[in-house]
Amino acid sequence: MEQEIKRNIPRDLFLHLLAIVTLYWSCVSFVTLLWQYINNFFPDALNPYQNFHSLDLIRGMVSCLIIVFPVFILVSWYLNKIYAREAVVRESKVRKWLIYLTLFIASLIIIGDLVSIINTLLGGEITIRFILKALSVLLVAAAVFGYYLDDVRKETPTKLSKSFGWGSGILVLVVIISAFFIIGTPNTARLTTFDQQKVSDMTGIQWEIVKYWQSKEKLPATLTDLNNKIADYTVPNDPQTNQSYEYNIKNEANLSFELCANFNRPSQTSPNILDKPFSVAGIPNAISQNWDHEAGRVCFERTIDKQLYPPFSKTK
């Protein structure tokens, strides 16, 4: 008997801990994904910075569910097989402590969620966006609480285990598939990353042109004029084609120029800092920071304001 306990305790501890941790991980990833979908389909007009669904966050949560949730299902299935052979494992203190800890955490989440709903309702700030987020947390916590409460009260594995496994599996699969309608395929993600890098490159080039004007009181004739070994700056090329970005002087006297690039996909309007005017001492920037674009060749015309960006010789 003593040898059996020594053999079973490490195995039981490992499997039960792995099951609980992957359960928590899967629940957090699932709810986070639902919240990102809600942000996408029910934007908040009062807080546009929260409206934009984070593609990186969605990708991360989808990755977690694809790996972590199947681990939870497999470990739970294997534990049920062990319970059928060794009834003593099902009654182990490790398992019961972890289940009651899960029930405790789920109870706190349900109570806190209900308090938050009532508090928001009394404050007159209830919205469909808030209701959906609160319900997503409430339903996930209630499902976990109900399943484990039923399971811990019985001496044999609950009959809900198969239904819970299939039901949660189908639900997770639907949520994962839905994510691809927002983030696109891996190839789409790669093309979007190329476009984001192009915008980042042109933002840097733009400000180097402004500094060039302030130093030399003229626009650079070509982008290669911006290369500066002392400042360790070299004009980047298009990361997708390795060709130079297109630069044209529109009006030398008016300090107008344009930067052009070929984009793979239309940009997504988001409250990114690159999309908003930059200001110095509260004065709006004369160079628009709007980098919204369609697919194909797009040019961004910029004009340097001499009052906002005077030559360095006149600022001494």
The tens digit of pLDDT for each residue in 135-175 reads 889 999 998 898 888 877 777 666 677 788 888 889 999 99
List, in order, residues 6 or more apart from 118 with CB less than 8 Å away. none
- Dihedral through CA 211, CA 216, CA 220, CA 225, nearest 10? -80
Q: Cα–Cα distance between 16 and 9 in angstroms, integer?
A: 10
Most confidently modeled range among 128-137, 151-160, 200-209, 270-279: 200-209
Q: Is the pLDDT of residue 218 over 70?
A: yes
* Number of neighbouring beta carbons within 10 Å of residue 245: 17
Quick check: 24 and 106 in contact, CB under 8 A?
Answer: no
Task: Give the residues across from 283 on adjacent strands.
Answer: 280
Task: Give the residues across from 284 on adjacent strands.
Answer: 279
Q: Cα–Cα distance between 71 and 94 in angstroms, integer?
A: 20
Residue 293 C-alpha from the chain's centroid: 22
For residue 128, CA distances in Å to 35, 41, 182 come to: 12, 11, 21
Instruction: Report the pLDDT value the prediction gives residue 232, as an integer from 0 to 100.
Output: 87
45: which 2 tokens?
């007009």
Q: What is the pLDDT of residues 248-257, one digit of tens each?
A: 999 988 999 9
Quick check: 269 and 292 in contact, CB under 8 A?
Answer: yes
List, in order, residues 6 or more apart from 21 with CB less than 8 Å away. none
Judging by DSSP bridges, how do beta strands 256-263 and 246-251 pair with one another? Answer: antiparallel
Quick check: 246 and 234 in contact, CB under 8 A?
Answer: no
Instruction: Report the pLDDT value the prediction gives residue 208, as an integer from 0 to 100.
Output: 93
pTM here is: 0.69
Q: What is the pLDDT of residues 86-104, one digit of tens each?
A: 878 887 888 888 888 998 9
Q: Is the pLDDT of residue 51 over 70?
A: no
* Number of neighbouring beta carbons within 10 Å of residue 215: 12
Quick check: 165 and 77 in contact, CB under 8 A?
Answer: yes
